[in-house]
Amino acid sequence: MSLIELKNVSYSYNDSTKAVDDVSFSVRKGDYVTIIGHNGSGKSTLAKLIAGLLPVKEGSITVDSLEVNEENIPQIRKRLGIVFQNPDNQFIGSTVRDDIAFGLENKQVPSDEMEAIVEEYAKKVGLTEYLNYEPQNLSGGQKQRVAIAGILAMSPDIIIFDEATSMLDPKGKKEIKQLMYDLAGGDDITIISITHDIEEVLQSDDCVVLSKGKLFMHDVPEKVFANAEKLRQIDLDVPFIENVRETFGKYKIKLKANDLKGMVEELCRSGSKR
């Protein structure tokens, strides 16, 4: 069942070019969808349109059959959270505790319940000891975890990550990615993740490729990456394994395995037959 549906969505910041150009696709409930594309291909614009942070002027977007428009946005935003690239630009509270509580205050959750919810989610993202810290004094990875805890506390069923790990060091990246995979593992939360990380794309159920604002491909990751030549035309990388497959293909050797170990075994088998 599709939870999010985009139909012929276009968006221009000014009259000259379309940042998003006639994009249609849908996202099933519980899926983990990655969006990839070169810089300026319209990924963040698309995320903001889905989240109701930019007005849908052309085409339509629905979330659980609700049209994303001025009237429905408050209702949709209760169910949808968005984590941005820069962890510094998403703090409202003066302490981690206040920050995680912010959305709950808006929802008018009673204060005793609120305290328990804040502590539950701080624990979930491993920030219990930091509840009284000022968010500004945390590391990048910790800041992203505060942002994610604040969103999880609202119990959304959709979370959009817009390059949420790109400014983090390898350790921070790994932590946040693991948190995302854990969330994606359940059937309850639908995740849309904008990323340049091929490894992450391979973990997702479905991949949307944008180029110059247009939908370039939409398929399962294995099929997307099987089009290595097409992806290179729009300056995107393919996984190492696909490069290996392609190179052997040029010598008429077809490798079917999806990991390097499997490919080596295939090669050994074919060698022993000769």
Ligand X SMILES: Nc1ncnc2c1ncn2[C@@H]1O[C@H](COP(=O)(O)OP(=O)(O)OP(=O)(O)O)[C@@H](O)[C@H]1O
Q: Which residues contact ligand X (rule: CB under 6 A)?
A: 13, 19, 37, 39-45
When binding is defined by CB under 5 A, the residue of 10, 34, 44, 204 that contacts Mg ion is 44
Question: Which residues in the chain belong to E strands, given as ranges?
Answer: 2-11, 20-28, 32-37, 58-63, 66-67, 80-83, 158-162, 190-194, 206-211, 214-219
Sign of CA dihedral 65, 66, 69, 75: negative
For the chain, give me the number of helices (H) and strands (E)? 11, 10
Q: How far apart are CA 209 and CA 228, in angstroms?
A: 13
The residue whose Cβ lies closest to Mg ion is 44
Q: State the minimum distance, in angstroms, from the CB of residue 44 to Mg ion.
A: 3
Q: Among 39-47, 54-62, 133-141, 148-156, which window interacts with Mg ion (CB under 5 A)? A: 39-47
Residue 41's binding partner among ligand X, Mg ion, none (Cβ under 5 to 8 angstroms by kind) is: ligand X
98 versus 163: smaller Cβ distance to ligand X:
163
84 versus 225: smaller Cβ distance to Mg ion:
84
Q: How far apart are CA 151 and CA 111, in angstroms?
A: 18
Residue 240's binding partner among ligand X, Mg ion, none (Cβ under 5 to 8 angstroms by kind) is: none
13 versus 240: smaller Cβ distance to Mg ion:
13
Q: Give whole-number Cα distances, 188 to 13, 21, 116, 183, 272, in Å.
A: 34, 30, 22, 9, 48
β-sheet with 190-194: strand ranges across: 80-83, 158-162, 190-194, 32-37, 206-211, 214-219
38 versus 124: smaller Cβ distance to ligand X:
38
96 versus 209: smaller Cβ distance to Mg ion:
209
Token representation of residue 234: 């729009």
Q: Among 6-14, 38-46, 99-107, 204-212, which window interacts with Mg ion (CB under 5 A)? A: 38-46
Q: How far apart are CA 36 and CA 195, in angstroms?
A: 6
Using rule CB under 5 A, residue 195 touches Mg ion: no
Name the packing angle between helices 140-152 and 170-185 (round to 10°).
Answer: 20
* Number of chain positions touching Mg ion (CB under 5 A): 2
Q: State the minimum distance, in angstroms, from the CB of residue 5 to Mg ion.
A: 22
62 versus 211: smaller Cβ distance to ligand X:
211
Q: State the minimum distance, in angstroms, from the CB of residue 198 to ligand X.
A: 15
Token representation of residue 176: 């946040």
Q: State the minimum distance, in angstroms, from the CB of residue 40 to ligand X.
A: 4
- How buried is residue 45: exposed, middle or buried, by Cβ count under 10 Å (0-12/13-18/19+)? buried
Residue 39's binding partner among ligand X, Mg ion, none (Cβ under 5 to 8 angstroms by kind) is: ligand X
- Contact present, 30 and 183 (Cβ < 8 Å): no
101 versus 215: smaller Cβ distance to ligand X:
215
Q: State the minimum distance, in angstroms, from the CB of residue 77 to Mg ion.
A: 20
Contacts with Mg ion, residue ranges (CB under 5 A): 43-44
